[in-house]
Structure 1
Amino acid sequence: MGAGVSGGLRARGGLSVWVANIRSMSAKRPKVPSELRRRVLIEAGHRCAIPACKTTPVEIAHIIPWSKTRKHEFKNLIALCPTCHTRFDDPHGSIDRKAMRQYKANLNPLLSVGLRNREGQAALLAAYQELRARFADWVPAEVQHAAAKSRRSSSLKEVADLRSQSVHKFSWAMCAVLDFQSAWKDSEASDLVGSILYHVAGWSDEVHDAPFPLPKETRQRDIAEEISEASTELHLMVCEELSM
């Protein structure tokens, strides 16, 4: 143990106090939900996300420290082996946060894939990227509208404005779906995209037609969860077709 660390322990009352503080922090920090942990591990192939390492076993690390975010989010979590995790946590280490963000980005096949334009693959990928971007804009807008309509404190104007925004974003999502289906033609992926669109749109209509505030059965629906399995299946179809 270095002099600086040992001196710090003496100043704080010794090792027992330090251990107690660590245990106290751990007790207040909830575990990463099992499904979220599974997503992070699958993303990295159950190996360390640093390409030159790729070892096992791995731990779930926060890119921005838990002490600052106080929440577990997929975009902020990454799989690291214990050694790389320790190196990252070391403020004087060689792995900084910017590098870790890049390692996280590299795990997304849509950001790191290198495609030749064989049989129009670049066009297929572009259509999928546009689809993802439009759905990432549209679905949260629908959720925000539903949340506002669930609150008795919301004004009718607020609900109407959010509805108008969601309808505008839906129009862009619809265009992206049509472009995707045009590029992917008569494929399973094309059919699945249509099913996802109509499922979300049907829920949106249900929210719009329901009285204010929303009844419990409508309010409790989690549309993101409802389409999560189909969205994952679509992503796997795209990856398989494009050999990613």
Structure 2
Amino acid sequence: MATSRPKIPSELRRRVLIEAGHRCAIPTCKSTPVEIAHITPWAKTQKHEFKNLIALCPTCHTRFDDPHGPIDRKAMRQYKANLTPLLTISLANRNGQANMLAAYQELRGRFAEWLPAQVEHAAIKSRRSSSREKIKRSKSDAVDKLAWAIGAVADFQSAWGESEVSDLAGAIFYHVADWRDEVESAPSPLPTELKRRDILEEISEASTDLHLMVCEELSM
């Protein structure tokens, strides 16, 4: 016999509805009325969590549940992340929350500077037409931004302490850093396999997970 599914607690349901403004969370829809949907199916999680719940109109909910439909889980997680822009959060510094938020904002900002510079350097090093001087300049720019990113990761982990959030931030950084080391150690032009890697795509799901975890922690 299938395990009965408990109702979503009223306060949790209220938080999800307020987050989406009592409208469908898909920005091009915004319809009412709405239902509460699980981003990762209930059958897999067996629990109700704020980070895994999203408000959807019945039509978008049906489209999302359709395995052959146009809305996949990755897209839905991004819609969820977009509902909570951290720059608008007002926090008292209770339990260090303001410092935790500031560290996350700094981390995002430094990664937003470093990653494009690192990707651009890899692209330049991939081209046969790139001169040594051009490769050298792009490497120098990426290295400068990497130094700031390393500092931001250290500050983030200091602010968040030993936690799943801190561990995930470190894992994302080291995944990119390992790719960066492969790019630096490879000859120019880069080998085809390395040239085809999309590092931003590789970290996209983990980055969304990190954002949702930060939102969940700071809303508690």
TM bucket normalised to smaller? 0.5 to 0.7
How many equivalent residue pairs? Answer: 154
TM-score norm. by structure 1 comes to 0.58
- Is residue 178 of structure 2 the alignment partner of residue 202 of structure 1? yes
Distance 1:239 1:202 in 2: 27
Q: For 1:46, what is the secondary structure of its paired residue? A: coil
Distance 2:92 2:31 in 1: 30
Question: Per-residue CA shift, 1:47-100, capped at 9, x if unaligned?
Answer: 4759xx95349xxxxxxxxxxxxxxxxxxxxxxx9xxxxxxxxxxxxxxxxxxx
Distance 2:170 2:92 in 1: 27
Aligned to 2:94: 118
Identity %: 65
Tell me if the contact between 2:84 and 2:215 (Cα under 8 Å) persists in the aligned partners.
no
- Is residue 145 of structure 2 the alignment partner of residue 169 of structure 1? yes
Q: For 1:213, what is the secondary structure of its paired residue? A: coil
Find 1:218's aligned residue among 186, 191, 194.
Answer: 194
Distance 2:154 2:26 in 1: 38
Distance 1:238 1:111 in 2: 12
Q: CA RMSD in A?
A: 2.6
Structure 2 unmatched ranges of 5 or more: 1-18, 34-56, 58-81
Distance 2:153 2:125 in 1: 27
TM-score norm. by structure 2 comes to 0.64
The one-letter amino acid paired with 2:150 is: M
Offset at 1:181?
Answer: 0.5
C-alpha spacing 1:155/1:129, structure 2 compared with 1 (3 Å): same
Question: Per-residue CA shift, 1:135-188, capped at 9, x if unaligned?
Answer: 000011100000001111111110111011111110100000000000000001
- Is residue 211 of structure 2 the alignment partner of residue 242 of structure 1? no
Aligned to 1:180: 156
The one-letter amino acid paired with 2:113 is: D
The one-letter amino acid paired with 1:109 is: P
Structure 1 or 2, whichever has the larger Rg, is 1
Tell me if the contact between 1:48 and 1:56 (Cα under 8 Å) persists in the aligned partners.
no
Distance 2:210 2:193 in 1: 28
Find 1:193's aligned residue among 169, 182, 186.
Answer: 169
Tell me if the contact between 2:25 and 2:83 (Cα under 8 Å) persists in the aligned partners.
no
The one-letter amino acid paired with 1:192 is: L
Distance 2:108 2:132 in 1: 31
Distance 1:47 1:180 in 2: 29
Offset at 1:235?
Answer: 0.6
Tell me if the contact between 1:148 and 1:159 (Cα under 8 Å) persists in the aligned partners.
yes
Distance 1:129 1:48 in 2: 24
Aligned to 1:46: 24
Distance 1:190 1:226 in 2: 19
Larger RCO: 1 or 2 (CA < 8 Å, sep 6+):
2
Tell me if the contact between 2:157 and 2:166 (Cα under 8 Å) persists in the aligned partners.
yes
Offset at 1:110?
Answer: 1.0
Structure 1 unmatched ranges of 5 or more: 1-42, 58-80, 82-105
> Which region of structure 1 is more displaced relative to structure 2, 125-134 or 194-203?
194-203
